[in-house]
Structure 1
């Protein structure tokens, strides 16, 4: 769960949220969900991450009462510092079952908020009409790729999960334009994953990417790009909250592909 760092900034943005323009809401969502990441982003980096202009960010900062983006970051950083020690103690001393479950629930809600229904439908069409689906995952996302493969065995579509880089590399050269490569990443896009992606592009294989929200090299190369909410700094919870969002997104795609292939299921 994204920490509720501040009453003076995040809470103010939450209260004002309904009055923001659609583009301003992108900034507001990012500020609420990943404030500790936002304070390290320059205005140009944030604009690129959110697919908006720097002018939109400037308007947003003035809308919530700051002279500029730098002033907003200073205020946000100050609030984070004030509560960080208290939050660390709470996580260490009171990592209750409720807290752990709440963290996962909040991450799912954040991801649902930024979900693009049109992109989901495009992804479902891509998968449902493919002759073979290759799931690629590195690190923490390798188990997501394996889970996706196990699920999609039920669809009647040929699939596989490639977790080892050498195997991923060889398999990429076997894929065709009628196949789909689903590339999943829970963190920064590394050179190995991009080398696989470049092979897929050269072979004109449709690519479905699942990454953390924001512009990145993988999503820019993808035929369809889907995103999960950024998790911010959550210590031991960080990897799991990313995984649970990816698992839910994969399950959504699987369910909708099954419904597309069997109209009877659509009535349930």
Structure 2
């Protein structure tokens, strides 16, 4: 059993709790790690769900939730839930009211307009969040790694693919050498075999993670090719393979997640890389 926390050590807010979980995640037993991943990826469900419903969704026993809470110094799971509920109360005022207004639209008359408003609202939330979720120093390190690479390998599948496609287009216009992994010819393995320590990779994957993207990022990392990644959880398989990784959770409307913040991030990263390469070439 872990040594109980003192009252002073018990996390008092969501950000502190998140930092402590990430700090200890490597030492957590398998089931507690499972709960940790679920709680950080689904904080709203932790706030509103019952112990039984959360345990079912996280694929653990309800008693595991209690053990998880006590591991971090809480008396029980309900005490831990208060941290997640406080996080919701600290959100931008009016958010729930705006969603309620959208749900109450006259769908027989304004169905398409309501859907439009919902996606615009989700895009706004995503863009609001990105300003505080991206560490400027980490962004600078990522730009430095990718700007110094001879070739940048772009790795993304499924929902993430539009991000790498945009970057491939922009790199071409900006005269930055790249390889877009994911060819119709099925030669990804041959393409990745050409990567060296002088190159770098940028990988993108969101839950449910593309196993092929995770495998390709791991392959490059094992060969000492630096990897930078964009994902949506500290427990993403991309995080463990990356020199620098960014956690970005997009807002959704009716279960459909936006790519607004991810595309903004990709645009900023692409242009910053090109500008850094220009300065390096000119000896600045």
Give the gaps of 5 or more residues in structure 1: 1-18, 77-82, 264-268
Which segments of structure 1 move beyond 6 Å, counting only runs of 4 or more? 42-45, 71-76
Name which of structure 1's ranges 140-149 and 110-119 shifts more when overlaid on structure 2: 110-119
Which whole-Å CA distance do the structure 2 matches of 1:167 and 1:34 have between them?
39
CA shift, 1:237, in A, is 3.3
Residue aligned with 1:217, SS: coil
Does 1:119 find its partner at 2:138?
yes
Cα distance, 1:88–1:171 mapped onto 2, change above 3 Å = farther
Partner of 1:101: 120
Partner of 1:152: 171
* TM-score between the two structures when normalised by the length of structure 2: 0.63
Partner of 1:69: 80
> Per chain length, whose mean CA-contact separation is higher, i.e. which structure has more relative contact order (CA < 8 Å, sep 6+)?
1
Partner of 1:14: none
Which whole-Å CA distance do the structure 1 matches of 2:144 and 2:163 have between them?
20
Which whole-Å CA distance do the structure 2 matches of 1:90 and 1:177 have between them?
56
CA shift, 1:164, in A, is 4.3
Give the gaps of 5 or more residues in structure 2: 1-11, 21-38, 88-96, 280-284
Alignment equivalent of 2:261, drawn from 237, 241, 245: 245
Partner of 2:239: 219
User: Is 2:102–2:114's contact at 8 Å kept on the other side of the alignment?
Assistant: no
Matched ranges for 1:1-268 at <5 A: 20=13, 23-24=16-17, 34-36=43-45, 39=49, 40=54, 55=72, 58=74, 68-69=79-80, 89-90=103-104, 93=111, 95=114, 97-164=116-183, 166-231=186-251, 234-235=253-254, 237-238=256-257, 241=258, 243-262=259-278
Q: Please give the root-mean-square deviation of Cα atoms over the aligned residues, in Å.
A: 4.1
Residue deviations 1:111-165 (CA, integer Å, cap 9, x gap): 2221111110011001111100110111011111110111122343211212248
Residue deviations 1:86-114 (CA, integer Å, cap 9, x gap): 78954864625443222101111112221
User: Is 1:134–1:162's contact at 8 Å kept on the other side of the alignment?
Assistant: yes
Which whole-Å CA distance do the structure 2 matches of 1:102 and 1:74 have between them?
22
Residue deviations 1:2-32 (CA, integer Å, cap 9, x gap): xxxxxxxxxxxxxxxxx958515869xx88x
Residue aligned with 1:204, SS: coil
